[in-house]
Chain A
Amino acid sequence: MTSLAPAAQPAPAPANPLAVAWARLWRSRRLVERNILVYRHQWIIIFSGVFEPIFYLIAIGFGIGGIVGNVPPQFVEGREISYLAFAAPALLATAAMNGAVFETIFNVFFKLNYAKTYDGVLATPMGITEIALGEMLWALFRAALYAVAMFVIMLVLGLILSPWGLLIIPAALLVAAAFAAAGLAGTSYLRTVNDFDVPMGLIVMPMFLFSGTFFPIEVYPEPVQWLVQLTPLYHAINLIRGLSLGMVGLPQLWDFIYLVAFFAICLTLAMRQMEKRLIK
């Protein structure tokens, strides 16, 4: 094992770093192809996830929305926004997050620790970078599937209230990329299946509940609001909700910058961690 891994690193790089990056990204498609082959017989695992945000939309959007009616106007710039239109873009953002983290946490953990898939991959011309990029691209596809499904439903139900809504899908891809990188970085710290409690129970679930998904964070006391504003899901929701409701301004620019920076940091960390785990 030890003798194999370093030999699997690509040959010394040509001068242009952009060309190297592209070559690696292009080579990482092989891992995506591998995942497509594997999931051909297990497509229900991925496909069933499409329905999760839709069930939430029906239950919370219609069930609770029927009681709430419109969101209290002081939370949405004094406008008349139905609760359904308020919750839907947040559910799209969380669907993008879930698609990305389910893939990079559960499935990567399994391949890393039990199936030892990557030890095999490293015996080919693919290196750590290609593995990390390949898994992230694959997670991105899964997240995109969920985001697009949700987008179509919002479109059909007339829940996209502004032409800015055209940018929802690219924004959702950014969100998915950020969470895919974060998931990949986090998974490398997990040792047993019991450790899933930590990322899911202490990070993903609380973010899902508290990031303004189902109600505006302005209902919290100030210090709690600040705390929520530190989390990536808050910015994902704020960005996508802003685009959907047509409330786009400096805060959304700030959300965008936050997500790009978060993505860059997590990507660097993910590469370093994967290298630590795979090259022993």
Chain B
Amino acid sequence: MIGPSKLAGRLIQIGAVVAALAIWYLATRHQVTKSLFFPPLAQVWQELVRLAQAPDSYSAIQVTLLTIAKAYGIAVLLGIFTAYLVTRSRWATQVFEPLLSNMFAVPLTLFLPVFILFFGIGANSKVAYGAAYGFFPVALSTIAGFSAVDSHYIKAARSMGANGWEMFRHVLLPAAMPIVFSGLRVALVICFTSVLGGETISSIAGVGRKIALSAELLETARMYAWILFVVVLMASMNGLLSRLEAHRQEAAR
């Protein structure tokens, strides 16, 4: 059996995108679909150009990116710190690890109204919501990473007189890095989608609000333009993360 190559997969992928665009183009050209839901592609492109020229779009993008950065920063710092404290003793790990993973299984989206009640409708509630969502993957993967560190390393470092910070910085973190990194990656995607989701559902500013607003005003072409922007942003973020991880693995070798 001859397996298809990676190139074939890539070609099919590109072909599918081209086919989808062609179908969209032809369908809107010949009025097969409602132009309200699927506006002509040219119109989406015009809206994209218009948005790129409007200063208002940049302030929305700035709000969203800043909110994501804050939420992610809090999630990473709190997650790693919590994992460090929890893994100081095997007993604490046994107590807290199932607790955290069970809490992560309950959809935090349930609490979105509570976040809005506590932190208001502005960006702060999205920071809190994104940080709370991103905290769990960071903490869980860091706990897993720290628990899996070879105890010989820890004993050796301790017998050489490493203090708490040195142990964390030079032994635990580097040894656990592959597992921690997977958590950091998941958390970034989660922060990204939960901030955008929070903005879409109820907010006063940001990219998510722009998408919801365009939909409410039935400006579907503008909505697609914004969605396209978010998809490209997400794809480039994922690409960057993959490059970073490959680079890190290369450096570790």
Please indicate whether A and B come from the same complex rather than being unrelated chains.
no
Point out residues on B near A: beta carbons under 8 Å. Answer: none
Point out residues on A near B: beta carbons under 8 Å. Answer: none
